[in-house]
Every structure is written in C-alpha cells, then in structure tokens.
Amino acid sequence: MKILLTGAKGMLGKKIIEMCNYEFMLLTRENCDLTDFDKLKNFLDSIKNLDGIWHVAAYTNVENAEENKEECFKVNWISTKILSDFAIKRNLRILYISTDYVFDGKKKSPYREWDETNPLNTYGKSKLFGEKEVLRNPFGLVIRTSWLYGEYKENFVTKVLEKAKREKKLRVVCDQCGSPTYTRDLVNIIKLLWENEETGIYHFSNKGEITWFEFAKEILKIKKIECEIEPILSEELNLKAKRPFYSVLDTYLIENKFGYRVPSWKVSLKDYLEKII
C-alpha cells in the first residue's frame, strides 16, 4: 500500500515511519511547502499511483498562531482542502489528525465525537476547518487527539525535564485538564482504524484525565528528580491564545467497537521515559 505522508519529519510523522510497514511517499517542507499552493497542486498532480493520504503535518504553535493567523490557516485549512479535493478526485482515502482544541472546555465530562465544537483560539479554528474539508470525502477519517508527546521532537515532557535540571522551581498551570497521548499509542490506533477502513471522526488519547501540573509532577516522580513545582492559574501566564479548561477526549467508540484496551497515561509515560534514557 502506497501512502502520501505529510509532516514526515515531525514527531508523529517519524513515529509513523518507524512503526508502519507501508510504502510512504514523503511530503516535507523541503520538497513541497504546504503554504505554496501552486507547488502543492503540481506535486499532487505528478503522483501516478497512490492508495491514500495521511495528513499529519500541522501548524501546532498555539501561541504563535494568534499572531500568524494567515500561515496557520494556510497550513491547517487551505492545504487540507487541496489534499482533500485531490483525494476526492482520485477516489482516495484520506486521514487527518486533529485536536481536542476544537472544543471550548465548558463540558464537565469527556468529549464524544458528536459533541458540539466551539474552538477558543486560532489553532483550534483552523483545525476544525481542516476537519470539515476531510469529512467532505466519503472516505475521510479524522482522529482527534490531545497533549501529544513522543520521541524525535521537543515536547512538554522533555521541556519539564530540561527545566527541572536548570531551575530550582517550576511553575505549571493547574486549571487545564486533559489527557496526554504517547505517539506510539496514537500510531497503533492510526493503523487499526486505517486497516479497518474506518471513516468519520474518532477520539483517541491515553486513559485518564489530569492537569498539566499533575502531568509535570508525575514526570519528575518517575525520573526521581527533586524540583519544586508551583501550581498556577492560566491567567497568570498572560497567554495570547485561550485554552479550554477541560478537553478530555472520550475513547468509548474505539474501545467498544474494536475491543481495544487504551493504555493509561501513567503506563505510557513510564514507557516513554524509559525509552528516551
């Protein structure tokens, strides 16, 4: 099976290549910038044989997106539209990775796939627009995930470890609740859903809900690093982008449809930390 993979040099893209045995055609910023729409269309038109598209590339800097809205929408929305149009024209399946930030966080229980979306920031809005483009395709598959970390790129876990080694005290927000996701576990779900030819929207993250503060505490506990952590409120950071206070994703659909046992966030975090030593 030949798959066009965008974001091939990113954290998730590299994990996909590591774990999947498909034949991948790699689309990277070097060979085709997603914001160069003419080049992207020409690149796609030059492809002769293809079985599907995995659109993993994204503009993910939530803060910078508020000042670089045009670039964010170009990457997360317009390029997705072009890829989706191409998939529809060629009768191809397409997979798109989305985010918990399509929700506003006002719900007090885990979000289901059919819950109303209402993104609070530019990043979330751009990803929601991308979702809608992919779902125009009857073979479109959207996987929403959250708080992604893994090998190959700096992430929240590595940032906490690096700061804890340099500083005596960390300040971490305690009023945003979600679920971390290890790239290894997400790739397993991508393979499961793709090989079962699933379409529509699915939610996936590791099991359990925590705050960023609790996440940081567990990271240092596992690594046995002595460092004071101060819980703070989001408003103290003066962030440009609003974040949902609660964005836990409900994985009921995946668990029950496939009998899949979702790994807990603590177990997956420990596995990851042992691997990167």
Burial 33-55, CB ≥16 within 10 A → b, else e: bbeeeeebeebbeeeeebebbbb
Q: What are the phi and psi torsion angles at 160 (to 5°)?
A: -60, -45
Which candidate, 257, 254, 266, 260, places its Cα nearest to that of 112?
A: 254
Cβ atoms within 10 Å of 165's Cβ, excluding its own: 10
Which candidate, 191, 194, 184, places its Cα nearest to that of 141?
A: 194
Q: Which distant-in-sequence residues (6+ apart) come within 8 Å of 20 by Cβ?
A: 187, 190, 191
Alpha-carbon span 166 to 246, nearest angstrom: 30
Copy the structure tokens of residue 128: 């929601």
Copy the structure tokens of residue 169: 């005290």
Q: Dump the DSSP string for 32-45.
A: --TT-HHHHHHHHH
Angle at 1 between CA 26 and CA 153, to 5 degrees: 35
Which candidate, 110, 115, 109, places its Cα nearest to that of 128?
A: 115
Q: List active site positions.
A: 123
Q: Any idea how long the chain is?
A: 277
Question: What kind and span of H or E run contains 183?
Answer: helix 183-195
Count CA atoms within 13 Å of residue 86 on its CB side.
26
